[in-house]
Chains A and B, each alone.
Chain A
Amino acid sequence: MAAYEKLVKQYDRQVFRIANHIVQNREDAEDVVQDAFLKAYQKLNQFQGNSKFYTWLVRIAVNESLMRLRKRRTGKMVSIDEDVETEEGSMPRDLADWSPDPEALYGQSEMADILRRTIQGLPPGFRVVFVLRDVDGLSTEETAETLGLSIPAVKSRLLRARLQLRERLSRYFKRRDLKPAQAQDGVK
């Protein structure tokens, strides 16, 4: 049990983060953390050891989060593929450059609020790919394995997630000294 406690302490913050990104509700995320660690403990003998413990745990947490969403939506099926067929983000529209130090424009809690609201606007299947690849630092292959997606699907979602986030953050971070016409001109 002491060894498992060590694993809980090592990965609890990441699991809490992933759960929050999917369920977007703190109480549900707390439940997901508990259920995911309990389920992982019960299934420890099924852990093959050919993937990292963390990717195996995240797979359990993602499934628990989706189940939680389903419950909230009274049984409606929820999948990681939901709403991914959007065309938004395939071509940048807001081409204004950003302020040289956008983080200095806002206080820490205001910044966290902006980042939360911005990423919450993305479909869950984009959010979770972005978080696993770009925030948690998993490889494309690990992200694909964790989410049960193909590598091309992970790559395509990651690109669109990055571009959509960039586009949405531009509202907050763009340089104020450029006129829109100057910034929008000249796409080939």
Chain B
Amino acid sequence: MTCTEFLAQLDEMLDQDAAIPLRADLEEHLRCCEHCEITLSTTRKTIQIYRSHEIYELPEDLRERLHKAILAKCRKC
């Protein structure tokens, strides 16, 4: 398996969707390719970092203001 072929299947590794024979091939490639191993681990970390940080925080005062505005508009219609 080449790096390009591995990369095309990267999501299968990340989402653990790969069928068993494909997974075995991907894992074999990983054992001998440090670069793909780094690509996989850092892409996994990318997802985990975005999942654990709220980058568009909705502050409580704004949240309350939005709730009031939404419900007032809904009551009118």
Binding site for B on A (CB under 8 A): 1, 4-5, 8-9, 12-13, 16-17, 20-21, 29-30, 33-34, 37-38, 41-42, 90-92, 95-98, 102-103, 108, 111-112, 115-116, 119, 130, 134-135, 155, 158-159, 162-163, 165-166, 169-170, 173, 186-188
Decide if A1 touches B46 in the complex (CB within 8 Å): no
Decide if A115 touches B50 in the complex (CB within 8 Å): yes
Contacts of B20 in A (CB 8 A): none
Q: Which residue of B lies closest to A108 (CB)?
A: B53
Size bracket, chain B contacts:
35 or more
Chain B nearest CB, measured from A108 CB (Å): 8
With A115-B55, A119-B55, A162-B11 as given contacts, are A95 and B50 in contact (CB-CB < 8 Å)? Answer: no
Chain A nearest CB, measured from B1 CB (Å): 9
Within 8 A of A (CB), among B46-72: 46-47, 49-51, 53-58, 62-63, 66-67, 69-71
29 inter-chain pairs at a CB distance below 8 angstroms, sorted by A residue, are A1-B75, A4-B74, A12-B58, A12-B63, A17-B56, A29-B56, A30-B62, A33-B70, A34-B66, A34-B69, A37-B74, A38-B77, A41-B74, A41-B77, A90-B7, A91-B7, A92-B39, A95-B39, A97-B41, A97-B42, A98-B41, A112-B55, A116-B56, A134-B51, A162-B14, A162-B43, A166-B42, A166-B46, A186-B35
Decide if A112 touches B53 in the complex (CB within 8 Å): yes
Grouping DSSP codes into helix (H, G, I), strand (E, B) and loop, the B interface class, with mixed when no group exceeds half, is helix
Contacts of B4 in A (CB 8 A): 91
With A5-B67, A155-B11, A158-B11 as given contacts, are A169 and B55 in contact (CB-CB < 8 Å)? Answer: no
Binding site for A on B (CB under 8 A): 2-4, 7, 10-11, 14, 33-35, 38-39, 41-43, 45-47, 49-51, 53-58, 62-63, 66-67, 69-71, 73-75, 77
Decide if A9 touches B71 in the complex (CB within 8 Å): no
Query: How many interface contacts (CB-CB < 8 Å) are there between A and B?
Result: 117
Chain B nearest CB, measured from A89 CB (Å): 10
CA distance A29 to B66 in the complex (A): 11
